[in-house]
Amino acid sequence: MYNFRQMITGALMASFTMLTLPASSQTVSKGVKNIVLVHGAFADGSSWERIIPILHAKGYHVVAVQNPLTSLEDDVAATQRAIALMEGPVLLVGHSYGGMVVTEAGNDPKVKGLLYVCALVPDAGMSVGDVTKAFPPAPGSGEFQQASGFLKLSSKGINAYFAQDLPPSARNTIYSTQVPWAVKAAMTKVSAAAWKTRPSWFIIGKDDQMVPPALARAEAKMIGARTLELNSSHVPMLSMPEKVAAFIVSAAQELK
């Protein structure tokens, strides 16, 4: 029985290694080489599909978490599992609601830095509602549709407010493949804010209609983040992947 378990464990670890090995023989010469990407609400790991090849080509080990979006606790646990399987220090990157997740999961000692992309950033004891209440409601929030305790975005929400700088075919795919987001995930409070003990970076979308620029700038100031502002919607990792990837690389290079 021990040999069978050992064999299975070895096979699983080999599979994970294959998934996270860079697609290039290029090696990272400085900084952190492991990057964990955390998607936001209504999405999955394919949110990062245009970023991953760029990072692989530069020699980084990359994994995109598949958050279940069933609760904040479940999403943090999924992210922690991904961190645990990385060999060595990690740069943790969170998009949108993923900012809530990485703020909690980033307390893992392997996490050396946090990078937020058009994200919600809480302090300790804050929920999504707490983060956003000091600002006017984002235009996209009016397009939430609720059923059985889960939220989705309307077609107008995706096309006008979420991914308006993507081609129609891409917006249609995002709408058709969106993952429902549990209402309770937006109501749960973060227990400890990792940005208080780690360096942070922030990408602001100047045409973001989900996390409006005013909110994003206030968050970036609160956490003392180095910032990059892009003429993008809420999803610059899809509309401007080269610029987003370059910012991620610059952050990773600064970490030890």
Q: Which two tokens stand for residue 246?
A: 């370059």
**pLDDT of amino acid 4:** 34
Secondary structure (3-state) at 221: helix
29-40 per-residue burial string, b: 16 or more CB within 10 A, e: under 16: eebbbbbbbbbb
* Spatial distance between the Cα atoms of 108 and 151, rounded to a whole number of angstroms: 29
pLDDT tens across the length of the chain (256 residues): 334 344 333 444 433 433 444 445 578 878 999 999 999 999 999 999 999 999 999 999 999 999 999 999 999 999 999 999 999 999 999 999 999 999 999 999 999 999 999 999 999 999 999 999 999 999 999 999 999 999 999 999 999 999 999 999 999 999 999 999 999 999 999 999 999 999 999 999 999 999 999 999 999 999 999 999 999 999 999 999 999 999 999 999 999 8
Q: What are the distances in angstroms from CA 165 to CA 7, 13, 41, 168, 205?
A: 48, 39, 19, 9, 11
Full-model pTM: 0.90
In sequence order, what are the beta bridge partners of 95? 117
Query: Which domains, from first to last, does the chain contain?
Result: 30-137+186-254 (3.40.50.1820)
Q: What are the distances in angstroms from CA 146 to CA 18, 149, 153, 226?
A: 39, 7, 9, 36
CB distance 2 to 215 below 8 Å: no
To the nearest 10°, report the CA torsion of 176, 211, 125, 76. Answer: 40
Q: What are phi and psi of 226, to 5 degrees?
A: -75, 135
CB distance 92 to 102 below 8 Å: yes
Q: What are the distances in angstroms from CA 116 to CA 37, 100, 205?
A: 10, 10, 11
**pLDDT of amino acid 5:** 40
85-103 per-residue burial string, b: 16 or more CB within 10 A, e: under 16: bbeebbbbbbbbbbbbbbb
